[in-house]
Every structure is written in structure tokens, then in C-alpha cells.
Structure 1
Amino acid sequence: MKRFFIPLLVTVMFSLSSQAQQIHRCYTDQILEQLSIQNPDEFKAIKAERAKILQYNQQFSNASNKVAQYRIPVVFHVLHAGEAVGLGSNLDSMQLYSQIQVLNEDFNRFNPDSGNTPNVFKSIAGSMDIEFIMAAVDPNGNPTSGITRHNYGQISNTGTIDNSIKPATTWDANLYFNIWIADMDNGILGYATLPGTNPNRDGVVLDYRYVGSSTTNNFPGASPYNRGRTGTHEVGHYLGLLHTFQGGCSGNNASNCGFQGDDICDTPPTFSANYGCITGTNQNTCTEVPNDNPDMPMNYMDYVNDACMNLFTDGQVDLMESTLNTSRAGLLTSPGIQEVFTFEGQIIDKNTGLGVDAAKVIFITDDYEIELEANSGGYFTSNAFIEANYNIYAGKWGYMTENYATNQLIDKNTPNIIISIEDGIYYDDFIMDFGWSVSGNATAGIWERGVPVEATFNGDVTQPNFDIASDFGQKSWVTGNTAGNAGANDVDDGTMILFSPVFDLSGMNAPVLSYARWFYNGGGNGTPPPALDDELTIRITNGTDNVVLEIVDADELNTNQWKDRSFNLNDYLAPTDNMRLYVETSDFAIAGHIVDAAFDGFKVEDSDPTAIEQTEIINGLRIYPNPSSGYFHIDIATIKDVRSLEIYSVTGQLIYSESNLSKGLNKIDVSELEAGMYIVKVNAAKKVFQDNLILH
């Protein structure tokens, strides 16, 4: 490829005498010119990427390589100055949808003005079979409108957008097509990045005045650029197209048209950009051999008014498809284009069959996780579920985590699921967030829940790159969970404390606590290094007594590996309903020691299961009046450890729930319930009391 970009000031900048401000119809070439000076390596990478696209394009087979339809997930990043949505640059969703409509019309040649294409060009007018859609799922697997909004004030400097705003707001450019909307107030209508650009800056920028079409929703765009064709033009660049006037009259014969000018043979070379409105075929600024054609100013990659543009060519479509099959291929498998659907289920107690309030369920793939929390009836719902194969786990603090399914396909036809979990066991492998907390005064090395990543010091592994094998998932708690040199984020100059939620062991006969821990202490400043004096301390409290279970220090060999530990808690303190576990790691001195720790596989269960009462269903409650109308009284004075009162329909649907109950007589308002029969349940420790209630 002899020529990539041309002297820019000659062909790209222009001033309209009717406008006081200089208008830059497209600023893409200037951005590239700046890049060639400021970052020549990236500029070379863009040229190299284009060479790959052109090579692919030469081998492209329309019959064998086209996909049925290209679907592109778009995210609009609306940059505003605090205006309300719909005012100024803070465009409302309808105007953004209008731009999507324009793109889909123009790229598929559904545009209403396609009939204006001169007859000489109609046979080569291209249709791409592409659909631009608003991203439905964000990079974290959450539902999205495909619109983000950021208050950055008025922006007139493209450098600020490219170097500061884009990196702070972009979604993964390999998976999403990022479009920024801004009030640039400097005459720039828009600009784009070509394939091969740094992903932190990759995408299209449009001035808000030129977004969407005034013909579809009467948006007050700035005439004559009010039909959304600035977006069409810049998206063409994003998909690999150059200006039709790129290189002037170079590439004017069959032997060089594929690698000179705009690198496309069915777009006639044009000496310079065209402005205003040129609709006919009388203009011919370059001579082609062997077949000479008039200029094509109505091509979307020229500079005429929006109303006077109406086509891409077949050759341009082929090049854009080649881009999508190479440099932009990640867009075609983005989670943003996946169909989303509503998926529901319930988490129930294995013994009682009742829904478990605030239980959690997590759906895990190789790429993302979806964690949901159940309501008071144990029901969970996601309105933006994605078809995939999932590993599914459910649990709650005070319950055993259940591995419901492994590699199970869930799609829009999958029926609701019911997951049973077992009460009476405190278990946490940290696959879900059950509410552990962190405190401390160290300057670095905070406890983090996540997939551990390896850190090293002088060849020693100070931090694991895996969790324990005996639990679910891959997460654990790790201090300063950062890969690389341990000294960059280990515990420094203080203590970091990880502590559990409160757990109730008052009903256990012989509770046994087990967990796995990791600790590393090494290094130090000075010759020889000062003695190792840092520790990992694990202690437990019952609300009154505070007992140290173990202190791990350098005297213990091979601590930098997962070590399983187990304790009969009756040997240390009296179990109560107010237990907590504390995991403290400390860097005591300023001697520069490396301190890293990890914790996983927490579990407390009764070592004498025969002493655990099974949940007992007891019929009969003191309810009056019954039948009743509007309200009833219920006496629970003789029921110990009452947790909640629930009212169910005869079909098993939870209608009412109350956990704030007095120890004696309670008045329950049921005035909003319809007449009929209901089931009243009082949930207590290992017992459920129930009776029928009739409402008039």
C-alpha cells in the first residue's frame, strides 16, 4: 500500500461563508495526523491493521464468508454539562434511537432517499445486511439501556476527550461499539478511529447537534447536517473506510485502485472533497483508465450535505465486512448483542419446604457472573438473563451452599428452578457475598474477596493463585490481591482485619469450626534482614469472651500454602447466638517485611448430628376471631424463639410476612386480603406452627 493518508490541511478543512465559525465536516484525518506525530508506534499499528484488512478483502468471498446478519452492540456515552435529559448535549433516548435508525437505513440501503442515486451508480450501490442495536447487557452482565451519562461540562478539546474522558468511560472496545456525544463547540461535527487504534480511545465522537435525523422525530439538528449522516460517515471510518477523495486522483486505474486512494475500486477517485449539494453526474475531476466514471459526491464518505448523500458501494461494503471479520470480529460475539429474557426461581429450606428470605443464588460462566438475592418468599428474578451454560450455586449465611447444577444450559424456554438448601450449617466458600467485613489501619494490603492471583518475592510464592480445591468456585479472601512483586501491595505498617457476620451456635451440641489459611512473612530491609516478627492471628468471640484460636508466624514452617485447620469450639468458649470470627494479619515493624495472607473454606457444623432436632410441623395456633374479617389476634407467648409469621394462600403463595413480633399477643391486619381460606405459619427454631384462617 503506497499511500495511506494525504496532506490534510488541503483536503479536510474548509470554511462556509454563511457560517461565522469554521466547520470541520469530519476531523478523523486531523486526529490521525496528530497521532502520527505524537504516537508514531500506534500510527504504525493502525497502518499494519489496515494491511491485514486489505489482504483479507482481496480474498473475500461474498458467497462463503458472509454471516447471515452482522449485529453491532452500540453504547452511547452522553457527555453533558449538567443539563436535564433532553436539553443541550444531554440528548434523550429518542434522539439516540433516531441515530440508530439512520445507521440501519443507510448501511442496509433502506434509506428513503436511495432512489436519488444516479442511474450510473445504482448497479454498484451496496447493502450490508447489518443491524446496529443498543447494547442490552453491559460488560458486567447487567441489563442496560445502552446509554451512559457523564457530566464533563463543555468540551472543545479533542485531546481531553481522547486522553481523559474516553479511557474513563469506555466499555470494552473489542466487544462494544462506543459512541461519545459531546458539545464540542469548535465546529467539529464528528470524528472516528480506524481499526488498530488503542482500545481505550476506540470509537466515534459526534457533536450533539448532528445526532439523529430531523425527518424522523423532528429533532432540531443543525442544517444542513441534520439527517444523521455525520454518524453514517464516521461509522464508515470506524469500519475501515477512507474518504472517497483520499489521495486525490491516485488509484485511478484497475492495477492500483485496490491499494491507492481509498483502496476501493468501484468508488471513482475525486480530486478533493465536495460540499453543498451535488446530485448529478456532470462532475468528473479525475480521469480513470480503462473506464472513466464521473465523480460520486453523493457517497456517504464525501462531505456533501446530509440530504444529498445516499449510498455506499459494493466495494465499500466488502471492505467493511472484511473489517468485521478481522479487526472488529469481537463485536459479533459480544454479550451486548445477546437476547435477554426473564428468568425466575425459588430457594427453599430443605427441611420445611418454605422459601428462604434473602438467600442468594449465583450463575457462573467463564466470562461473567449473575448474583441474585431472593425476596421474603425465597423467589428470585432476573429481567436480563442471557442464554448460556451456567454453574449454579445457592446459599445463605447459616445454610450449606448447594451446587444446584454444573454446565446447565439456561435459555428463554427453561422452566423456573427450585433449589433446596440445608439449614443449621454455617458455610462460606466466598463464591457469594454473605457479608464479611474488613477494617484495619495498615497502609496497604487490604483484604479482598476474589479469585487469588499469584505474587512472589525472591522466588517465593507469597500469595496463592488458586483457592482450596474442596470448596465451590474459585474465590477466597486475600490481602492485596495483586499479581507480580509482593512488595507492591502486601500488608504494610499496621493490621488488616477480616471478620465474619454474627453466627448463632446456641442450638449446636458440639460445634466444630474449620477453615483453610495461608500466610507468608519474609524479606526485610538491612543486612542481615531484621528478624521476622509479623503474624496472622485468628480469634473468636461469643459476645463476651474473646479467644485466640491460633497465631501463625515465621516459626511455623511452610506457611505459604493452604493449610486446613479445625477446632472443637466447646474447648475454647461457650457457644452463643452472638459469635464472630476475626482473621488479623499484621506488619508490626518498619523493617520492610513482606506480609501476605489468605483465608478460605469457612464452616461451622455440629459434630453430633443426632443432637440436632429435625424441624417439626405442629398443627394448631391460638388465632381469634377465626373466621375473622379485617384483622385477627395470634398468641405466641408459649412459642420459643419465634422468627417470623407468614400467611400463605391454599396454593402455597406467600401473601404476608412479618418478623417484628411481640412475645405475647399480636394483632395482624388482613383487611387487604380477599375472602377465602389461608394458612398461617409461625416459624420458630426447628419448629413450624401452622393453622387455617378463614376470612369473610
Structure 2
Amino acid sequence: MVARPADSGAARTARPADGDSLAPGEMQAMLGDFTGTLRARYGVADERALVAAHRIPDRIVVPLRFHVLTDGRYGRLSRAAVDQQVAVLNAAYGGRLAGPGGTVRSAVRTPQGADTGVSFRLDGVDVTTNTRWFGKPHDHRAEIEAALSRGGYGTLNLYTGAVGFEMLGFSTFPKWARERPGVGGVVVDYRSLPGGTFPHFNRGLTAVHEIGHWLGLFHTFENGCWPPGDGIDDTPDESVPTVGCPASKDTCPAPGTDPVHNFMDYGFDSCMREFTPDQGLRIRAMWAAYRLGATASGGQARYR
């Protein structure tokens, strides 16, 4: 399970660790499974060969089911708040997220990040009042998902609750979708949504980060300075997570400074603004490997 740390107050300077931390060797095992799955399904070993074989989607429209958990007093979100979070997702994954304000860039301006080829279509919003689920979503995850999850492997179920002060959210990886039935969504703290009350982490980028894991991306600082890093060629090696929003940092001897502005790092929301082209390629290849054609419970995704 991958998780992003939560901010407990204005005095906190580091992004809380998310629930997505991996055991030693687990990432390499997942990359090995990814390669094996591509070979079995398409007869190729990596995403670039998948592109050459014309077997990778150029664009993916992900059906999104938004589940709001509340204890009756806290956590209830307006439809406007939900819509704003979806807008941030589409801006971030489309390479259109602006700088400090977190607003969507005008089409006439140069995007900050790469367009990953992914967009999100909101297919439903529901509100559930349950004090236990809201207060400890991690402890009741299987129960929550069994009751509320809709669609199959190709549908993103996003839940908001009071995740806590040590963790902002948690997610699962594509490989786990079929291995761990009933556990396949993304959970974020409701205070991390745009306009929320978590200082430094209230622009909706926790959901962007956690959904990155759901789509198959690892932390940019995975494996530190050791190969294969995060498994992505155009994200330079990074030995430790970013704290706050430094102008620059360089923690590994390999070429390139740390990707402090990448959504898969741990910087403040005001610092995070981009995915790279290879991250977008990896996302679409992971989709082709694990979610393309997934029709369980009617969860087929659309392509265009």
C-alpha cells in the first residue's frame, strides 16, 4: 500500500509519508511482473516496444466514482468541492496545472508538465455517514470498499475521510487489482482537497499523487541513488524525499537535479506541478497491461 504523509499543522515542514511505502525489493518484483505481463499479453518487453506495436492507448478516460465519508459533523463535501478536485486531477494529468495558485492554465500558455494522456470522467458521487469508516478508513478499508466500490478494474473509486495527521492518503498499484479482490481504490484526507484546512497540502494534489500510484507510478525517490531508481528514465535519481519547496536539490551523483516539482515526490502542494513524458508513457503501458479490457462488474474504461 502506498501512502502520502499528512500535515498536522502549520509547524510541520515535511510532507507526511503516504501509505504507499514499499518493502525492499517489492518495486523490482512489480516491475518484473509488469514486464512479464506485457510479454504474455502483447509479446513485447517494455512500453516503447508497445508503442512501436501500436498496442498502447494514446488517451485514456478513467471512469471516476467519488465516495464522501462523514461522521455527520465533519467530512461532508459540497458538489462544488468534488468538481474542483476533479478539475485539479484533469489539469495535473493534462499538463495544465499552473504554479502557486494551483489553477488551471490558460490554453494559450505553455503547460508546466507533460500531458500524460489521462483524463477523468466523474460518473457518480455519494455521501455515507459512518463514524468508524470516516475516522479510521485504513482500518476499515475492505469493509468500505465492499460496501461502496462500483465498477471493475478500470474504474477509479476515490474515497475521502479523516485519514489522519501522519498520513494524507493511501492507494494500491495496478498489479494488486487482480491479486487482492475488493481492495483497489484510493483514499485521501478530505482536508487535502482544494481549499482544505491542511497547511501546505490543501490544493488537491494528494489525490493527484495517490492516483499516480493507482495508475502504476512509484515515488521519485524510490531506491534512492541505486538502480533502477523509480524505473522512469526522465526522472533523475533522488536519495531522499523533498521537504517543503526548495529552489533546487541534488542528492545523487547521477546526472540531473532532484525532481522536486514532480507530483510523485513529497514537496508542498505549492511546489508540485508536473509529470514527465515517460511517466505518462508508463501510466498508459500499465493500463494496457493490467486494466485494458477489464470488464469486471461493468468497469470497462473508455478510449478515444
- Pairwise TM-score range, normalised by the shorter structure: 0.7 to 0.9
Residue of 261, 264, 275 corresponding to 1:312: 275
The within-5 A match list for 1:654-673 is none
Structure that is richer in helix per residue = 2
Tell me by how many angstroms 1:199 deviates: 3.3
1:171 and 2:150 aligned: yes
TM-score (ref. length: structure 2): 0.79
Query: 1:268 is matched with which residue?
Result: 236
SS of the equivalent of 1:306 reads coil
Mapped contact 2:68–2:125 kept (Cα < 8 A): yes
Residue of 176, 191, 194 corresponding to 1:209: 191
* CA–CA separation in structure 1 for the residues paired with 2:188 and 2:4: 17
* CA–CA separation in structure 2 for the residues paired with 1:227 and 1:150: 23
Residue of 268, 273, 286 corresponding to 2:252: 286
Query: 2:20 is matched with which residue?
Result: 28
Tell me by how many angstroms 1:127 deviates: 1.2
SS of the equivalent of 1:179 reads strand
* CA–CA separation in structure 2 for the residues paired with 1:172 and 1:81: 25
SS of the equivalent of 2:54 reads helix
1:106 and 2:84 aligned: no
Mapped contact 1:271–1:286 kept (Cα < 8 A): yes
Query: 2:42 is matched with which residue?
Result: none
Query: 1:495 is matched with which residue?
Result: none
The within-5 A match list for 1:634-649 is none
Mapped contact 1:156–1:184 kept (Cα < 8 A): yes
Tell me by how many angstroms 1:185 deviates: 3.1
Tell me by how many angstroms 1:328 deviates: 1.9
Mapped contact 2:136–2:162 kept (Cα < 8 A): no
Which whole-Å deviations, capped at 9, do the CAs of 1:563-607 have from their partners, x for residues lacking one? xxxxxxxxxxxxxxxxxxxxxxxxxxxxxxxxxxxxxxxxxxxxx
* CA–CA separation in structure 1 for the residues paired with 2:226 and 2:29: 24
Mapped contact 1:192–1:235 kept (Cα < 8 A): yes
Mapped contact 1:78–1:90 kept (Cα < 8 A): yes
* CA–CA separation in structure 2 for the residues paired with 1:297 and 1:151: 38
Which whole-Å deviations, capped at 9, do the CAs of 1:363-420 have from their partners, x for residues lacking one? xxxxxxxxxxxxxxxxxxxxxxxxxxxxxxxxxxxxxxxxxxxxxxxxxxxxxxxxxx
SS of the equivalent of 1:103 reads helix
* CA–CA separation in structure 1 for the residues paired with 2:199 and 2:214: 24
Which whole-Å deviations, capped at 9, do the CAs of 1:156-197 have from their partners, x for residues lacking one? 445423232122221233241111111233432111100122
**What fraction of aligned residue pairs are identical, expressed as a percent?**
25
Change beyond 3 A, Cα 1:80–1:262:
same
Change beyond 3 A, Cα 1:80–1:63:
same
Which whole-Å deviations, capped at 9, do the CAs of 1:211-264 have from their partners, x for residues lacking one? 2x2xxxxx344221111111111111111100000000012xxxxxxxx12111
Mapped contact 1:80–1:153 kept (Cα < 8 A): yes
* CA–CA separation in structure 2 for the residues paired with 1:150 and 1:107: 28
| Matched pairs, number | 281
Query: 1:50 is matched with which residue?
Result: 34
Q: Which amino acid aligns with 2:290?
A: S
Tell me by how many angstroms 1:106 deviates: 0.7
* CA–CA separation in structure 2 for the residues paired with 1:295 and 1:23: 16
Change beyond 3 A, Cα 1:45–1:148:
farther
Change beyond 3 A, Cα 1:304–1:81:
same
Mapped contact 1:73–1:134 kept (Cα < 8 A): yes
Which whole-Å deviations, capped at 9, do the CAs of 1:349-368 have from their partners, x for residues lacking one? xxxxxxxxxxxxxxxxxxxx
CA RMSD, 1 decimal: 3.6
Query: 2:215 is matched with which residue?
Result: 239
Tell me by how many angstroms 1:21 deviates: 11
Mapped contact 1:240–1:319 kept (Cα < 8 A): yes
Give the stretch that moved more between structures: 49-58 or 312-321.
Answer: 49-58
TM-score (ref. length: structure 1): 0.37
* CA–CA separation in structure 2 for the residues paired with 1:299 and 1:153: 35
Query: 1:298 is matched with which residue?
Result: 261
Mapped contact 2:163–2:169 kept (Cα < 8 A): no
Mapped contact 1:124–1:314 kept (Cα < 8 A): no
Query: 2:128 is matched with which residue?
Result: 150
Query: 1:188 is matched with which residue?
Result: 167
SS of the equivalent of 2:140 reads helix
Residue of 206, 211, 229 corresponding to 2:205: 229
* CA–CA separation in structure 2 for the residues paired with 1:220 and 1:17: 12
Change beyond 3 A, Cα 1:294–1:53:
farther
* CA–CA separation in structure 2 for the residues paired with 1:28 and 1:168: 23
* CA–CA separation in structure 2 for the residues paired with 1:186 and 1:176: 28
Mapped contact 1:226–1:306 kept (Cα < 8 A): yes
* CA–CA separation in structure 1 for the residues paired with 2:15 and 2:234: 29
Give the stretch that moved more between structures: 159-168 or 298-307.
Answer: 159-168
* Structure 1 residues without counterparts, runs of 5 or longer: 37-42, 117-121, 136-145, 214-218, 252-259, 339-696
* CA–CA separation in structure 1 for the residues paired with 2:253 and 2:97: 30
Tell me by how many angstroms 1:125 deviates: 4.4
Change beyond 3 A, Cα 1:334–1:286:
same
Q: Larger relative CO (CA 8 A, sep 6+): 1 or 2?
A: 2
Mapped contact 1:89–1:182 kept (Cα < 8 A): yes
Query: 1:321 is matched with which residue?
Result: 284
Tell me by how many angstroms 1:113 deviates: 2.5
* Structure 2 residues without counterparts, runs of 5 or longer: 39-44, 103-109
* CA–CA separation in structure 2 for the residues paired with 1:336 and 1:162: 24
The within-5 A match list for 1:386-535 is none
Change beyond 3 A, Cα 1:277–1:248:
same
Query: 1:460 is matched with which residue?
Result: none
Mapped contact 2:7–2:199 kept (Cα < 8 A): no
1:131 and 2:119 aligned: yes
SS of the equivalent of 1:308 reads coil
